[in-house]
């Protein structure tokens, strides 16, 4: 990562392990200021180099005095950059600057009424009515500040938290016990706005366009004269990535579409045709069906499938890189949800799935990674794509996982099962397109279950496969609800699948949300 350009403003969020950390960064970007999440122990020199306009310390599940609790360095408070500590972040300020934190007599989870004691900066212009100096805030804490650090004053309190928000006006260090980044805090956005614009002096000049400018500069300076390989699956992320890279480094970019045999019906052909007709970057097509299917033979465990596929991709990229020559980088459209669900290095979140382009990569790789969207959510990447001029045909496609149909065939993968699933999936997508539902649904697909059930067709007993249909609505893939497809559309889909796909005698509809389920079945 390079230092920002003179015009671009950056707010750094230091992550102490809260489930809301990336939400803070996202809220700030929505307010028009570029924000990135970094680990809590980002070295001070690195922070100086990035020249942020402000720093936010996130919440976290630890207790500041706990064994192995994440601590920021004390120096952080001396570099003269405005700081806002949220929940654990507030307690960190007290811990480092001589205050006292104790386990609260009463823990506070959920809504609380907060009384504003000073409305001159962080809480300026947020009171709804002059007679009532309270706002609704969202609390989630066991510990609380019991003594202010030196040179700090209280600026808000609740019934259970006598010190709910603090300030050192001169050094521009603020802390709040509640979570301004969640929608349940009624004036959370305005409070963050006050921090950004009144306290840090930001100007709201970030948008997808300035993100593109910033990334073009970063990519050019990282890549230098070397070449970059980009795996163009045809999904939203890799499409936007390829166009961004092409703009940045033109002929130094080599896109490869790898058909791993796990694509949907006719997909590889469609993708290559679409790109060759629209864009003029180097694009190679490689049919690696047998290579992948051989490696996956007999494999049932979902995580093992993902790791095998990740490794096979890299083997191919490294082989191709050798052929092209002077390739230093592999570019991937990794998004924030891929990172957070695949790793736990930034916080306490457990590995949920090894997304193949993150945790599924082998430890030793000859190519360095370029992942410009690592901080973004899918809807943000779609905005970047629109800014780069990609049409709806590329942007509105449903997400498709890197391991493809491998994680939609439960159990062993065979060519025959792939054929059955492809046909069923194709009918499902065609019918939701016909019903005008495709763009209202985040993702829809068919899953082939590893069970046979009894049916009756034309007076004959059948004993065949079950197809599960999955369709969800979501904003960013982190949480999702099952889509309420009208019964008449489901009826038509089920009817067509059972009649047209050989080997299927039953269709079921998945009505689970995420959490507790995930979107993909494996």
Catalytic residues: 87, 179, 181
Site string for ligand XMP, 426-445 (x = CB under 6 A): -----------------x--
Q: Is 26 in the site for ligand XMP (CB under 6 A)?
A: no
Q: Which helix (H) or strand (E) holds 101?
A: strand 100-116
Stretch that binds ligand XMP, among 57-65, 321-329, 394-402, 411-419 (CB under 6 A): 394-402
- Asked if 353 touches ligand XMP (CB under 6 A), the answer is yes
Query: Which x/- pattern over 354-393 shows residues binding ligand XMP (rule: CB under 6 A)?
Result: -xxx------------------------------------
Cα dihedral sign for 79, 84, 88, 92?
Answer: positive
Residue 38 in the binding site for ligand XMP (CB under 6 A): no
Is 264 among the residues that bind ligand XMP (CB under 6 A)?
Answer: no
User: Measured from the CB of residue 515, what is the shortest distance to ligand XMP in angstroms?
Assistant: 9
Question: Applying CB under 6 A, which part among 208-216, 365-373, 395-403, 424-432 lies near ligand XMP?
Answer: 395-403
In whole angstroms, give the CA distance from residue 71 to residue 116. Answer: 29
Q: Which of residues 332-351 bind ligand XMP (CB under 6 A)?
A: 338, 341
Binds ligand XMP (CB under 6 A): choice among 403, 418, 448, 467: 403
Binding map of ligand XMP across residues 115-154, x = CB under 6 A, - = no contact: ----------------------------------------
Give residues with Cβ within 8 angstroms of 308, minimum separation 6. 295, 296, 299
Interface size with ligand XMP, residues (CB under 6 A): 18
Q: Which of 83, 382, 402, 467 binds ligand XMP (CB under 6 A)?
A: 402
Q: Residues with Cβ < 8 Å from 66, sequence gap 6 or more? A: none
User: How many Å separate Cα 199 from the centre of its chain?
Assistant: 29
Nearer to ligand XMP, 215 or 353 (CB): 353
- The residue whose two tokens read 């080997």 is 503
Select from 315, 305, 308, 310 the least CA-distant residue to 520. Answer: 305
CA distance 268 to 21: 37
- Residue 360 C-beta-side C-alpha neighbours within 13 Å: 27
Tell me the two tokens of residue 456: 């009756």
Q: What is the DSSP-derived secondary structure letter of residue 351?
A: P
Kindly give, in sequence order, each residue whose CB lies less than 8 Å from that of residue 487, ignoring residues fewer than 6 positions away: none
Binders in 460-479 for ligand XMP, by CB under 6 A? 477
Stretch that binds ligand XMP, among 135-143, 147-155, 322-330, 514-522 (CB under 6 A): 514-522
State how beta strands 153-157 and 100-116 pair: antiparallel
DSSP code, position 199: I
By C-beta, is 91 or 260 nearer to ligand XMP?
A: 260
Q: Which residues contact 251 (CB under 8 A, 6 or more apart)?
A: 282
What's the token pair of residue 136? Answer: 């609704």
| Residue 452 CB neighbour total at 10 angstroms | 14
Contact window for ligand XMP (CB under 6 A) among 45-53, 166-174, 312-320, 400-408: 400-408
CB of 474 to ligand XMP, least distance (A): 8
Q: Contact between 519 and ligand XMP (CB under 6 A)?
A: yes
> For residue 88, what are the contacts with CB-CB under 8 A and spacing of at least 6?
16, 17, 18, 57, 58, 59, 60, 61, 62, 64, 141
Least gap, CB of 378 to ligand XMP (angstroms) = 8
Q: How many CA atoms lie within 13 A of 29 on its CB side?
A: 24
Stretch that binds ligand XMP, among 7-15, 56-64, 272-280, 512-520 (CB under 6 A): 512-520
- In this complex, which beta carbon is closest to ligand XMP, that of residue 133 or of residue 399? 399
* Interface ranges with ligand XMP (CB under 6 A): 306, 338, 341, 352-353, 355-357, 399, 401-403, 443, 477, 514, 518-520
């Amino acid at each position: 990562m390079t230092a920002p350009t003179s015009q671009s403003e950056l707010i750094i969020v230091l992550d102490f392990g809260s489930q809301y950390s990336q939400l803070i960064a996202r809220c700030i970007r929505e307010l028009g200021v570029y924000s990135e999440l970094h680990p809590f122990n980002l070295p001070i020199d690195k922070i100086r180099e990035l020249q942020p306009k402000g720093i936010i310390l996130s919440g976290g599940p630890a207790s500041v005095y706990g064994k192995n609790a994440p601590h920021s360095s004390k120096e952080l408070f001396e570099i003269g950059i405005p700081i806002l500590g949220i929940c654990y972040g507030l307690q960190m300020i007290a811990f480092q600057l001589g205050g006292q934190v104790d386990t609260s007599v009463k823990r506070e989870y959920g809504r609380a009424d907060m009384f504003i004691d000073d409305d001159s900066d962080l809480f300026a212009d947020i009171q709804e009515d002059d007679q009532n100096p309270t706002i609704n805030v969202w609390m989630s804490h066991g510990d609380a500040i019991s003594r202010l650090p030196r040179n700090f004053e209280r600026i808000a309190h609740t019934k259970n938290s006598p010190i709910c928000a603090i300030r050192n006006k001169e050094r521009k260090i603020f802390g709040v016990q509640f979570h301004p980044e969640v929608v349940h805090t009624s004036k959370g956005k305005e409070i963050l706005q006050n921090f950004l614009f009144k306290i840090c002096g930001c100007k709201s000049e970030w948008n997808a366009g300035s993100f593109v400018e910033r990334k073009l500069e970063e990519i050019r300076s990282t890549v230098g004269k070397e070449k970059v390989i980009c795996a163009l699956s045809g999904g939203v992320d890799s499409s936007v990535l390829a166009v961004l890279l092409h703009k940045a480094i033109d002929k130094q970019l080599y896109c490869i579409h790898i058909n791993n045999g796990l694509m949907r019906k006719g997909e590889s052909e469609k993708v290559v045709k679409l790109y060759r007709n629209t864009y003029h970057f180097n694009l190679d097509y490689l049919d690696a069906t047998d290579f992948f299917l051989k490696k996956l033979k007999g494999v049932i465990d979902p995580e093992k499938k993902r790791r095998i596929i990740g490794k096979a991709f890299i083997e191919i990229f490294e082989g191709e890189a050798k052929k092209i020559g002077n390739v230093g980088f592999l570019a991937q459209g990794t998004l924030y949800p891929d990172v957070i669900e695949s790793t736990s290095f930034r916080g306490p979140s457990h590995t949920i799935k090894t997304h193949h382009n993150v945790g599924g990569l082998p430890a030793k790789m000859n190519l360095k990674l370029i992942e410009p969207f690592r901080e973004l959510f899918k809807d943000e990447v779609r905005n970047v794509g629109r800014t780069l001029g990609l049409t709806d045909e590329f942007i509105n496609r449903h997400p498709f996982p890197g391991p493809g149909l491998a994680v939609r065939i439960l159990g062993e993968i065979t060519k025959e099962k792939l054929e059955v699933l492809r046909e069923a999936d194709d009918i499902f997508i065609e019918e939701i397109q016909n019903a005008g539902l495709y763009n209202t649904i985040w993702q829809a697909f068919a899953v082939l279950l590893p069970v046979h059930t009894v049916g009756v067709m034309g007076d004959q007993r059948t004993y065949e496969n079950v197809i599960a249909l999955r369709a969800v609505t979501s904003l960013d893939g982190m949480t999702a609800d099952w889509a309420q497809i009208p019964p008449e559309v489901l009826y038509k889909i089920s009817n067509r699948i059972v009649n047209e796909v050989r080997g299927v005698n039953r269709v079921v509809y998945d009505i689970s949300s995420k959490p507790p389920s995930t979107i993909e079945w494996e």
